[in-house]
């Protein structure tokens, strides 16, 4: 299978960011947008899309031997955000390389999706 970059089909890049602190996700998204602005300062389409928060709720017995009805509930929230970037073919190598080398805050994970359909 061969993979060719063409002007018509490959003009969009998505960076998916997720983590447990919303303020870290926002600062990481701004860091990605600033990096893109340094590479191509002319007016390009850069946008962020907030995805729904995933919640996992755990129920734990407080005292399993005496009172079986006494329970505690804990939840873990995972925040996600997409950063969409439009680019020219001339900017492609430097753009992807700089985003891959970007040092994000601890606790933020990222995936780079090239030309999602």
- pLDDT tens for the 117 residues of the chain, in order: 444 555 554 578 889 999 999 999 999 999 998 888 888 776 566 788 899 999 999 999 888 788 878 889 999 999 999 988 887 777 778 888 888 888 888 899 999 887 655
Token readout for 2 is: 């061969």
In this prediction the pTM is 0.76
51 neighbors 80 (Cβ within 8 angstroms): yes
Q: Residue 75 is part of a domain; what is its CATH number?
A: 3.30.70.600
Return left, alpha or beta for 107; rule: phi > 0 is left, psi -120 to 50 is alpha, else beta: left
CA distances in angstroms from 41 to 33, 34, 36, 84, 91, listed in the order given: 11, 10, 8, 16, 11
Domain contains 20: yes
Other C-beta atoms closer than 10 Å to the C-beta of 70 total 10
Number of domains in the chain: 1
Range of the domain at 80: 12-114
Domain contains 55: yes
């Amino acid at each position: 299978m061969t993979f060719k970059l063409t002007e018509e089909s490959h003009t969009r890049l998505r960076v998916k960011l997720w983590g447990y602190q919303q303020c870290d996700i926002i600062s990481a998204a701004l860091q990605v947008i600033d990096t893109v602005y340094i590479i191509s300062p002319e007016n390009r389409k850069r946008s962020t899309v907030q995805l729904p928060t995933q919640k996992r709720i755990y129920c734990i017995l407080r005292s399993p031997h005496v009172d079986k009805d006494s329970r505690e509930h804990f939840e873990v929230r995972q925040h996600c955000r997409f950063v969409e970037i439009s680019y020219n073919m001339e900017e492609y190598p430097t753009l992807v390389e700089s985003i891959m080398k970007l040092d994000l805050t601890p606790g933020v994970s990222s995936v780079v999706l090239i030309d999602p359909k």
